[in-house]
Amino acid sequence: MFDGLPDEVEIYEVGPRDGLQNESTVLTVETKLAMIESLVDAGIRRIEITSFVNPRWIPALADHMEVATRLRRREGVRYSALVPNMRGLDSASRAGMDEVAIFMAASESHNRKNINKSTMKAVETYEEVVREALDRGMRVRGYVSCVYGCPYEGEVPYENVEWVSKALLDLGVYELSLGDTIGVGTPRQVASILKGLLDAGMTREQLAVHFHDTRGTALANVTVALQLGIKTIDSSVGGLGGCPYAPGASGNVATEDVVFLLDGMGVNSGVDLGKLPSISTEVGVKLGHELPSKYLKAHVAACAARGIPV
């Protein structure tokens, strides 16, 4: 059953961006920088630090320029930021980013709600963004959201997923993150879509998975992706996250939960599980609420029983 497991997997940490974008409490720049530094200390080597979007859209990330310019960049770590258009790309470029990410849905309705464009118009917009980013020597990652279901349309045809995925790859993105935006994906569905994309000519190196744990299936879905040889998993420390344009979408799969799973299956991520709970706990205190990571809850309970700090 597990013959296809990769020996090593990369964790792509989205907590500082996707994790914080829907929070009503806005963290200070200092707190965000400390969060990013701590995650890198724990072994994270790919991390999305912010989003260069209009502050009116995402108030929690209005400080994107200050976060990006004040961040201490470390050798061997790839820092990325989301950009919606040329203005965002210009800002990211001025801030010294060498990798950016673009995003669109496999659902027409979600594209119109999230980026105020039709799917075709979004591709046209990103054609310029990606070309310019590549000309500036930047790497470009692509997000495909609503792969397993849409909050407005319900089921999303596989053909839509394949078309959007191919369109983004044709533009020049180096990797596609396939998102279960509202957390409705199940293992058989994940297997079907991933096999379909692989059969369509996409490589395992071009595909990453991004699951929300809204209905408790995220780790099962991660396991299926691993069995199919996928080597990049998006996750968010503490299980932070949620899309402001996807009603009912709760947090991303927690980085702690994923690393615990990987460790238990003998798959190396390079991330020190022991360092993650204190990061999540600190962020939860700053936000004023408990974070949903199951590993974190178990760890906190165990520490309390033994009378030791998290």
Q: Which of 161, 167, 165 lies closest to 176, judged by CA? A: 165
Catalytically annotated residue among 146, 150, 243, 303:
243
Name the one residue in this structure whose structure tokens are 């957390």. Answer: 183
Query: Given the structure tokens 């800002």, which residue do they identify?
Result: 91
Tally Cβ neighbours within 10 Å of residue 296.
26
Query: Is 243 a known active-site residue?
Result: yes
Token readout for 91 is 């800002």
- The closest of 52, 167, 64 to 106, measured between CA atoms, is 167
Which of left, alpha, beta for 82 (phi over 0: left; psi -120 to 50: alpha)? beta
For helices 187-199 and 218-227, give the axis angle rounded to 10 degrees: 30
Alpha helices in the chain (DSSP H): 29-41, 64-70, 86-94, 108-114, 119-135, 158-171, 187-199, 218-227, 255-265, 276-287, 294-306
**Tokens 């799917």, residue?**
119
> Any idea which residues carry the catalytic annotation?
243
